């Protein structure tokens, strides 16, 4: 579970922000524990030795990029583990059913499985130029999804995808780059990523914490 981001857009460590009666990260960890055999939490250097996360199996310091943080966490996973789930700790509303769906897809033969939501807005491809940002083309939203986590991976495929030390905002992209098969399962509106403070209000509503 990744929780090593700087939280620059949030203004502080969003993982530690209160959501209902507990921290954002606590919701994420609780669901991951129910869905898996163990949880490695990847955190920033400032919190890696603070003892703030007693309910996880391993706490490890993150790297300078998301991909490096993933590799730091992956090194702690026992060699006999066949399926690895990577989840953003800032998505506290992802359900146990969503974890189960991506895990099952890998058990069914996928190299990786990711949750995705259909796009409802018109999508434009834009280019940055001397006159500012200009539209290059309009994308077919029927063939575009918004990707979420948790994402599940065949362990051997994930290890292979990270061998060259690639950097990306999404591990499935590294798996795609080596020609492996990535399956999409239906995502959840409630699995939004906490990025700015107003997202806490939206997440609380979607998670039913305001009732």
Q: Is 184 part of a structural domain of the chain?
A: yes
Q: Is 211 part of a structural domain of the chain?
A: no
Query: What contacts 173, CB < 8 A, 6 or more positions away?
Result: none
- pLDDT at residue 11 above 80? no
Residue 50: is it exposed, middle or buried by C-beta count within 10 angstroms (0-12/13-18/19+)?
A: exposed
- Are the beta carbons of 111 and 152 closer than 8 angstroms? no
Split into its structural domains, the chain has a count of 1
Residue 61: is it exposed, middle or buried by C-beta count within 10 angstroms (0-12/13-18/19+)?
A: middle
Q: Read off the pTM.
A: 0.91
Q: Is 149 part of a structural domain of the chain?
A: yes
Q: How confident is the model at residue 31 (pLDDT cuts 50, 70, 90)?
A: very high
Q: Is 124 part of a structural domain of the chain?
A: yes
Q: Is 99 part of a structural domain of the chain?
A: yes
Share of residues in the chain with pLDDT > 70 (%): 96
Q: Is 135 part of a structural domain of the chain?
A: yes
Query: What contacts 163, CB < 8 A, 6 or more positions away?
Result: none
Q: Domain containing 156: what range?
A: 2-206
- Mean pLDDT over all residues of the chain? 92
What phi, psi does 147 have (nearest 5°)?
-90, 140
Quote the pLDDT of residue 50: 60
Quote the pLDDT of residue 211: 55
Q: Is 177 part of a structural domain of the chain?
A: yes
Whole-angstrom Cα distance, residue 90 to residue 170? 14
Q: How confident is the model at residue 25 (pLDDT cuts 50, 70, 90)?
A: very high
CATH number, residue 189: 3.90.550.10
Whole-angstrom Cα distance, residue 101 to residue 186? 9
- Are the beta carbons of 112 and 175 closer than 8 angstroms? yes
Structure tokens at 163: 């061998």
- The tens digit of pLDDT for each residue in 34-73 reads 999 999 999 987 776 567 787 789 999 999 999 999 999 9
Structure tokens at 156: 């051997």
Whole-angstrom Cα distance, residue 182 to residue 17? 33
Residue 93: is it exposed, middle or buried by C-beta count within 10 angstroms (0-12/13-18/19+)?
A: buried
Q: Is 195 part of a structural domain of the chain?
A: yes
């Amino acid at each position: 579970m990744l929780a090593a981001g700087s939280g620059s857009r949030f203004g502080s460590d969003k993982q530690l922000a209160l959501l209902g009666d507990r921290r954002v990260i606590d919701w994420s960890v609780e669901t991951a524990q129910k869905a898996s055999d163990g949880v490695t939490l990847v955190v920033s250097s400032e919190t890696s030795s603070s003892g703030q996360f007693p309910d996880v199996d391993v706490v490890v310091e993150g790297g300078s990029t998301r991909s490096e943080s993933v590799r730091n966490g992956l090194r702690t996973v026992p060699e006999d583990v066949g399926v690895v789930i990577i989840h953003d700790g800032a998505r506290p509303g992802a359900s146990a059913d969503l974890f189960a769906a991506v895990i099952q897809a890998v058990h069914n033969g996928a190299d990786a499985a990711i949750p995705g939501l259909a796009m409802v807005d018109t999508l434009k491809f834009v280019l940055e130029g001397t006159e500012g940002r200009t539209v290059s083309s309009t994308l077919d939203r029927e063939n575009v999804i918004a990707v979420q986590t948790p994402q599940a991976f065949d362990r051997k495929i994930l290890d292979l995808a990270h061998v060259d030390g690639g950097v990306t905002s999404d591990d499935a992209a590294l798996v795609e780059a080596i020609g492996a098969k990535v399956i999409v399962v239906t995502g959840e509106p409630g699995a939004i990523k906490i990025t700015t403070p107003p997202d806490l209000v939206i997440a609380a509503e979607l998670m039913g914490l305001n009732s």
